[in-house]
A = this chain, B = another copy of it.
């Protein structure tokens, strides 16, 4: 029996890619495509067991209140969740017969795994650096993901009692050694033709380990969303972050 899926924000760029993904999966059935002026009741009428919400901070809380109260599980990529909002969702989820909720800032499975592996590996190496590669239209450098990765590495090193990363540099051109994020060097490359890529490099005596993540197009979040749809029924209450579903 296929899982019955409703998509909120179905006409958006992201929502429509989710609809395509659901339609292409044998074990999922797209039963409702809801957009901004539609009545949420159509989810219940269609028998939706899971909804996917890529809408707006302004509408997502109303959507979740309705779904959770009606026992519909939700997979949410909409942004704007602070601790207050998360606590509200937790409260809704605690009611009898409530739906489960997964809220994740990043559904690219490869990126989430890369960061998780980086945290696991960090304490075993003398050196660690992060290099991210993006198209030249990107406004920030380094990327948020690269900063977050470096922070995760730095924290794992601190917890393991490691000292500073070795670096004998005496003569340098300004910027050559990258940005310093909690003691971990981060480099941003801007390159026409590229999409979004990251190298996380670890080194110790005679060896390196490199975790490379490549995003080739803007639909790379789809497999992570479908994973969430398939597994949300088995994760009670609210889960924040896809890593909780990946076992890493």
Contact = CB atoms under 8 A, between A and B. Distances in A.
16 contacts: A109-B209, A111-B207, A124-B223, A137-B166, A140-B171, A165-B190, A169-B188, A169-B190, A172-B188, A176-B179, A193-B205, A193-B214, A194-B208, A207-B213, A208-B214, A208-B216
Interface of A: 21, 108-111, 113-114, 117, 120-121, 124-127, 129, 131, 136-142, 147, 165-181, 185-195, 201-220, 222-223, 227, 246-248
B109 A124 contact: yes
A168 B193 CA distance: 14
B124 A246 contact: yes
A159 to B, nearest CB: 12
A120 B204 contact: no
Contacts of A191: 127, 129, 201, 203, 208
A216 B192 contact: no
A169 B209 contact: no
A91 B175 CA distance: 44
A206 B222 contact: yes
